[in-house]
């Protein structure tokens, strides 16, 4: 199991971002996987994890699934469905995968799962493979 590449300053996965989540993503059987605990620093309401934060994590999981295949892409569209509130302290498994590829377009999905099988949030997205000039910029930022 190998950790997926990351940018050190990234809010979600960067080790050098003191305000970030410092999530580690691994590629397992075609799926980007991470685990995190809903931190009180990111409450929306008292005791409830902010929806914007979990949306960001799901977006990252979808991009990581593409990056794990040595492709560089950016999110063009994302739809989030919140099934249940995430409580501060909840331990979550995050998964992301590519469901279909058409030319430069990657169709993706991600899930936040609590208690092994309880989906608390799900995202679907459309990502576009970076053209050469943007790809070069993205590659230079990755470690």
pLDDT tens digit sequence for 59-82: 999 999 999 999 999 999 999 999
Q: Where are the domains of the chain?
A: 2-141
Q: Kindly report the number of other CB atoms within 10 A of residue 118's CB atom.
A: 12
SS3 label, residue 2: strand
Q: What is the mean pLDDT of residues 25-46?
A: 96
The structure tokens listed for 89 are 């302290």
| pTM of the complete model | 0.95
Give per-residue burial for 131-142: e unless 16+ CB within 10 Å, then b. eeeeeeeeeeee
- Return the CATH number of the domain spanning residue range 2-141: 3.10.129.10
């Amino acid at each position: 199991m190998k950790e997926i590449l990351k940018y050190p300053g990234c809010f979600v996965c960067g080790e050098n971002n003191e305000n970030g989540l410092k999530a580690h993503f691994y590629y397992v059987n075609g799926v980007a996987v991470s685990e995190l605990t809903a931190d009180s620093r990111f409450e929306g309401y008292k005791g409830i994890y902010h929806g914007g934060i979990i949306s960001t994590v799901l977006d990252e999981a979808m991009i990581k699934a593409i990056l794990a295949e040595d492709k560089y892409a950016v999110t063009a569209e994302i739809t989030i469905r919140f099934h249940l509130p995430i409580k501060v302290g909840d331990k979550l498994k995050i998964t992301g995968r590519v469901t279909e590829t058409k030319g430069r377009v990657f169709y993706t999905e991600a899930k936040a799962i609590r208690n092994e099988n309880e989906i608390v949030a799900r995202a679907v997205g459309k990502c576009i493979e970076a053209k050469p000039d943007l790809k070069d910029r993205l590659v230079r930022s990755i470690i």
